[in-house]
Copies of this chain bind each other. A is one copy, B any other.
């Protein structure tokens, strides 16, 4: 194993085309050796945690661009924005509504604050098994029945590009006088073209957190938090960010954020129009190609769920569930035979991410690859998937919330033990177990392991597919709270 730096250089010099994050797609920016511009807060430069000079100006500019009351640069990713947002709107032990399919940082915030989470669960999109949107009616119902809830947190768009009806949700939430926080980590580009969904910030969300590296040309780990609200105290957000971000924030990151936003407000606008046009054309062509091999492209037509407001077309999600190859197999073929690096795969689809930094050549390469693959691998007109061993598993991915026996905090901080899954029925879970897709916890710490949950985890573990978070690598084990 060589040095990390050498491995990265080797990758950057390879022919592999990146259909994955970060959105800058490697090396398009005019940026020098980072050591040359890496400083701390010396004279003439500003302090992120009490900005009054050049950083303050840059953040004000970002707020103007996004139409926020206030914007904060984040050097510890969307992660620190999520932690700070939740910390600032709650006190220890209070209640918060969160979408069950939210990012792990939300669960971490619940842990830190010993919060009482009240979950809304999205429906699952058939075939792909990815999460749908969050229902405003379900949130209304929950808020009507409990006046102690302090905030609502949802993820929109999801990793898969599914956008909820944020406007409807914001209207409901504001009826009860509390704030809506939207994790828009995957939607920082929405603002810059009409072909993309409207940003949550323009639809009434009070705090919106966006990763800049995921879909725009900025360095990995850079993000931004926007406030536009009468329900949020800016000072308490600032205090909380001060906690969750380094006291020596990187000027390389802060310059990258500033450059990214200035690019998007200038030449980026035109590039974005070209990109959307190219993307629509590409999706049209790809869709036709895919159908020849029973592959499918996740698009608005493919979905029948009521709670989905829109889809982010920059996410190329190719379903394999009606073919005789798995998502993982398609992924491997793309990497090894076509030098195309997708973002990820599951059993039944492959995700490829596009951005403003993609090229016509990249799109063509992918289209030709898929044309070739449909020809070569699935020419005998693809079997249906009913002979696939994991079919039953996919069917059960509508996740129910287990009974909550104690807080995530108590469970994580208690004495734990690793036991056989078959012996764990009725016990309190002490770890997170995620189903992938849809990226929703099957169970979280503090929840009771039912027979159904135990069976699901056991089966997933046995097949070694679609499951994450289990610390004990032994197939039959799970970590639970020690009794007695």
Contact = CB atoms under 8 A, between A and B. Distances in A.
A221 B87 CA distance: 23
Given A252-B220, A409-B92, A258 B108 contact: no
Given A11-B39, A27-B35, A262-B3, A247 B104 contact: yes
Interface string A321-346: 00000000000000100000101000
A253 interface: yes
B247 A105 contact: yes
Interface residues of A, number: 88
A242 B244 CA distance: 12
A12 B256 CA distance: 16
A83 B87 CA distance: 15
A451 interface: no
B33 A33 contact: yes
B220 A38 contact: yes
Contacts of A31: 5, 33-35
B43 A341 contact: yes
A101 interface: no
A79 interface: yes
Interface in A47-68: 53-55, 57-58
Interface stretch (A16-24, A147-155, A169-177, A368-376): A16-24
A75 interface: yes
B108 A34 contact: no
A478 to B, nearest CB: 15
A54 B105 CA distance: 25
A125 B246 CA distance: 29
B39 A247 contact: no
Interface string A70-114: 000001111110010001000110000000000111001001101
A248 B220 contact: yes
Contact of A32 (B18, B33, B220, B252): B33
Given A32-B9, A43-B341, A243-B108, A251 B37 contact: no
Interface of A: 1, 3-5, 7-9, 11-12, 18, 20-22, 24, 26-29, 31-40, 42-45, 53-55, 57-58, 75-80, 83, 87, 91-92, 103-105, 108, 111-112, 114, 211, 213-214, 217, 219-221, 235, 239, 242-256, 258-259, 262, 335, 341, 343, 409, 412-413, 471
